């Protein structure tokens, strides 16, 4: 397999992992909204579902994007596809 094909395969796998995490916190958990709110888990004292919609999911997305960017940079570096800084 060429260097480029390998790079793309790794990139695609990273995409799948990123989208899986994204799916859980943007769609998955809201199938169980009633159950989550009824559960005794209370981050900062807020009802669980309420907390996810106010802060939880939102904050996780911010962290997820920075994590994704970091991982993608590592992949690019590994295959020597990093851009020159003077660009």
Partner 1 sequence: MIKGKFIDNLPKVYGIYTGGFLGFIILMAIAEQAGMSAKMIGIFFVAFTVLIYALIGYLSRTLQVDAYYVAGRQVPTVFNGMATAADWMSGASFVAMAGGIYFKGYGYMALLVGWTGGYVLVASLLAPYLRKFGCYTVPDFIGTRYGGNMARLSAVIVLTVASFTYVTAQINATGTIASVALDIPFNIAVYVGLASILMCSMLGGMRAVTWTQVAQYIVLIIAYLIPVFWISNKIGAGFFPHFMLADEVARIAELENQFGLGTIKNSAADLATVPKGLAGITKAHSDVNTTPWKFISLAVCMMAGTASLPHVMMRYFTTPSVKAARRSVGWSLFFIFLLYSSAPMLATLSKLSLMDPNLSTGIIGKSIADVQAIDWYQNWNQANLMFVSDFNGNGTLELNEFFMGGKAVVLATPEVAGLPYVISGLVAAGGMAAAMSTADGLVLAISNALSHDIYYKMINPKAETAKRLIVARVLLVIIGFAGATIAALEIQGILGSVIWAFDFAMSGLFFPLVLGVWWKRANAQGAVAGMLLGLISGSAYLIWVRNGGAGFWGVTQLTFGIVGSLVSLVSMIVVSLITKAPDSATQKMVDEVRVPSGKTVLGKQH
Residues binding partner 1 (CB under 8 A): 4, 7-8, 11, 14-15, 18-19, 22, 25-27, 30-34, 37, 42, 44-47, 49-50, 52-55, 57-59, 61-62, 64-66, 68-69, 72-73, 76, 80-84, 87
CB of 79 to partner 1, least distance (A): 9
CB within 8 A of 13, min separation 6: which ones?
none
Cα gap 70→59, rounded to integer Å: 17
CB within 8 A of 54, min separation 6: which ones?
46
Nearer to partner 1, 40 or 84 (CB): 84
């Amino acid at each position: 397999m060429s260097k480029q094909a390998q790079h793309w395969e790794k990139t695609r796998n990273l995409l799948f992992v990123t989208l899986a995490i994204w799916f859980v916190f943007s769609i998955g958990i809201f199938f169980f909204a009633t159950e989550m709110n009824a559960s005794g888990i209370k981050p900062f004292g807020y009802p669980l579902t309420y907390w996810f919609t106010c802060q939880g999911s939102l904050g996780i997305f911010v962290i997820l994007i920075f994590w994704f960017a970091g991982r993608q940079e590592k992949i690019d570096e590994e295959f020597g596809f990093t851009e020159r800084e003077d660009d």
